[in-house]
Copies of this chain bind each other. A is one copy, B any other.
Amino acid sequence: MPANKAKRALQVAQAIVSDIQLNAREAGDRLPQEEDMLARYEVARATLREALRFLELQGVIQLQLGRGGGPVVSRPQTRDFASSLSLILQFMDTDLRALLELREAIAPDMAARAAVRATNADLAALDDCYAQLERDRETAAFEETNRRFHDLLGWASGNPTFGLLTSALHLLTRDLAVELGYSAQERANQLRCLARVLNAVRLRDADGARRHMERLVKGSSEYLAARSPELVSQKVRWGDPG
């Protein structure tokens, strides 16, 4: 197999990932130390280290220094995924407008799924976040809390892809749109919509959640496009994600 023959380090990386899954390692668990892995995978130390550092970049493990240190299982975070996403989008000359369109596409369905699947814990977290959002309605923290609400809703949808994409989009847009906040009127408008979405979710009304969310994100996009055309034309750039 020519495809498999190349890149021994990557093979080792995949083997380590398989091992993590097979042994059901949780985040925080310690993996065998380098010396044991050397014997296990029968490679040189430099090769093993390349595999480990590669996995570290991907967020699969963390490498702890010093005595008693070693590779520790981590969990790939949204940040790592967002980094990959922004890199490829940069090469495709993607602008903020495209990201907003994607959000328009997924947010309504996401809300509908959340209405069906949100757990009580999810609902409590959403309630808390909404209350916080009302307290932040006139502070600089509004945008951040707003993003957090959408993130929570994404993870409450019971579909990891929604939560992942929503969080990733927020990470990408945060760097671009940091200088521009919503007006007081727009904030009030968004709060109203969010309240309706939250209420629909609480009532397990999937259709209502979808409709109100659709209205919300569409309005948000139109607001940003009208307020600052050059902002939504900004190109995504791969920045230091962490």
Q: Nearest Cβ distance between residue A157 and chain B, in whole angstroms? A: 9
Given that A14-B240, A21-B90, A80-B88 are known contacts, is A159 also in contact with B101, CB under 8 Å in the complex?
yes
Bound together, the chains give a CA A81 to CA B238 distance in angstroms of 14
Interface: A131 (CB within 8 A): no
Hey, which chain B residues are within 8 Å of A179, CB to CB?
none
Q: Does A56 lie at the interface of the complex (its beta carbon under 8 Å from any beta carbon of B)?
A: yes
Per-residue CB contact flags for chain A residues 33-71 toward chain B (1 = under 8 Å, else 0) read: 000000000000010011001101111100101000000
The reply on A89 being an interface residue by CB < 8 A is: yes
- The verdict on A53 contacting B109 (CB below 8 Å), with A92-B160, A164-B88 known, is no
Given contacts A56-B6, A91-B76, contact A106 B102 (CB under 8 A): yes
Question: What CA separation (Å) do A106 and B160 show in the bound complex?
Answer: 15
The count of identical subunits is 2
Question: CA A106 – CA B7 in complex, angstroms?
Answer: 33
Who on chain B is nearest to A11 by CB? B240
Given the known interface contacts A53-B9, A101-B159, the answer about A14 and B238 at a Cβ–Cβ threshold of 8 Å is yes
Interface residues of A in 196-242 (CB under 8 A from B): 238-240, 242
State which size class the interface on A falls in: 35 or more
Whether B238 pairs with A98 at a CB distance below 8 angstroms is: no
18 A-B residue pairs with CB within 8 Å: A6-B65, A9-B53, A10-B57, A17-B239, A60-B91, A75-B91, A76-B92, A81-B85, A84-B85, A94-B160, A94-B161, A99-B161, A101-B161, A101-B162, A102-B106, A102-B159, A105-B109, A105-B162
Q: For chain A, what secondary structure do more than half of its interface residues adopt (helix, strand, loop), or is it mixed?
A: helix
| Interface presence of A104 (CB below 8 A) | yes
Assess whether A110 is interfacial by the CB under 8 Å rule: yes
> Smallest CB–CB gap between A115 and chain B, Å?
14
Most buried by B among A46, A84, A162: A84
Contact indicator B98/A87 (Cβ below 8 Å): no
- Chain B: CB-nearest residue to A92: B160
Task: Assess whether B240 is in contact with A10, with CB atoms less than 8 Å apart.
Answer: yes
- Given A7-B240, A49-B50, decide whether A60 and B76 contact each other with a Cβ distance below 8 A: no
B-side contacts of A98, CB under 8 Å: 159-161
Nearest CB on B from A85, distance (A): 7
**In residues 153-189 of chain A, which contact B (Cβ within 8 Å)?**
159-162, 164-165
